[in-house]
Structure 1
């Protein structure tokens, strides 16, 4: 089984890569700076690094990289710097999601490709009309205006919900929504819910990055876990 990982150099992406390799999976990763990968991963026999800026690749190149992959996992996000938040590309996650889905569709694989997108608990699943307190709606509305990365996350998830949908023959998807991210050394117990059980603004929970990587790897490699959560936007909290 082969998975294409985006954002593999990031704090969560590299943990996902490690989780997949530990399960004996083959991993391809598109990264701008391969030398930034941890040395323990860099020389792994089942890891193939593609040195490129994802959005600079033309459609045929993307289709080639996606071809033969059983899954695509995106841990892309914006750096929390002034340039990362407000500079280009302002639709990094959404544009990457759209183009990768189009690349998958162009290959017309005999079986659906899994697409696992890392997102945020601050983004609601509008398929379920999740109840959101008025105060949180007001804050999220302000965030949409002031912080472009939030809109980017919303548009990426919405593309999977509304454009790919539930009946695609080429793509099955899941959007993983962690709450406030923390750094931990080891996988710990965690809970997965259909919708948030607490306010992402006023009563946020904690989710370790390594638990996110573990759950994404479970979605990719575990048939039962995938069947439970495909077409949904599960929320993950540390237990």
Structure 2
């Protein structure tokens, strides 16, 4: 299996690439700079590093990069500083998703390509009834005004839901919604739910970035797991976080 990963240099993207390599996949990564990539990737014949800004690639280049891949995975996000939050591109995740999906559709693949998007538990799946409190609705409304990255995450998932949909012959998708992200060095037990089981704003749980990378890799490699969650927006929590919510 060959997987294209965008956002591979980020904190979660690195874990995803490592998990994919552990499972024996070939991996392409598109990164703006190789400066902070692990040396182990640079010396690994199963890793192809493409140095480019994802939104500056031509349609032809984008098509070339996806044409031999079974899966495209996006761990793109915005840096949590002033430039990352309020600078350009404000629709990095959405625009990259649109362009990658367009490239997949125009490629010569004769089978559906998997698209795995890392999203956020603060974004509702509007294909389901996911009730939230009035207070949380108010906070989400403020986030849409004050934090462009939140809107970017919403629009990227909405593009998959409403434009790609459930029956596209070229693309199957899953949008993974992690709760509060933390750093850990090893994969631990985690649990997956169709919708949040706690408030992402007022009672957020935790999940390690390595667990998110592991789950995304499992989705890519395990067809049974993929068929369970395709076309959905599963929420991931570390098991300890779920246990604490039940106390």
TM superposition score normalised by structure 1: 0.99
Shift in Å at residue 136 of structure 1? 0.4
* CA distance in 1 between partners of 2:230 and 2:127 (Å): 13
- Give the aligned partner of residue 100 of structure 1: 100
CA drift of 1:108 comes to 4.0
Q: In structure 2, what is the equivalent of residue 140 of structure 1?
A: 140
Q: Deviations over 1:94-149 (max 9, x none)?
A: 00000000000011411000000000000000000211111100100000000000
Please give the alpha-carbon distance, in whole angstroms, between the structure 1 residues aligned to 2:211 and 2:199: 20
Q: How far apart are the structure 2 equivalents of 1:108 and 1:45?
A: 25
Instruction: Confirm whether residue 231 of structure 1 aligns to residue 231 of structure 2.
Output: yes
Asked if the contact 1:9/1:37 (under 8 Å) is kept, the reply is yes
**What RMSD in Å do the two structures reach over aligned CA positions?**
0.6
Question: Which residue matches 1:85?
Answer: 85
Alignment correspondent of 2:57: 57
Report the equivalent of 1:28: 28
**Which residue number in structure 2 is paired with residue 118 of structure 1?**
118
User: Moved runs in structure 1, 4+ residues, more than 4 A?
Assistant: none
Paired residues of 1:108 and 1:170 also in contact (CA < 8 A) = no
Is the 8 Å Cα contact of residues 94 and 152 (structure 1) preserved in structure 2? yes
Report Cα offsets for 1:166-206 as digits up to 9, x if no partner.
00000000000001100000000000000000000000000
- Who is 2:245 aligned against? none
Give deviations 1:69-108, integer Å, cap 9, x for gaps.
Answer: 0000000000001000000000000000000000000114
**Counterpart residue number, 2:221:** 221
Partner secondary structure for residue 34 of structure 1: coil
Please tell me whether the aligned partners of residues 104 and 113 of structure 2 are also in contact (alpha carbons under 8 angstroms): yes
TM-score of the aligned structures, taking structure 2 as reference length: 0.96
User: How far, CA to CA, are the matches of 1:204 and 1:222 in structure 2?
Assistant: 28
- 1:154 match: 154
Partner residue, 1:3: 3
What is the CA–CA distance in structure 1 between the aligned matches of 2:140 and 2:83, rounded to whole Å? 21
Separation in structure 2 between the aligned mates of residue 34 and residue 225 of structure 1, nearest angstrom: 32
Structure 2: where are the runs of 5+ without partners? Answer: 240-247
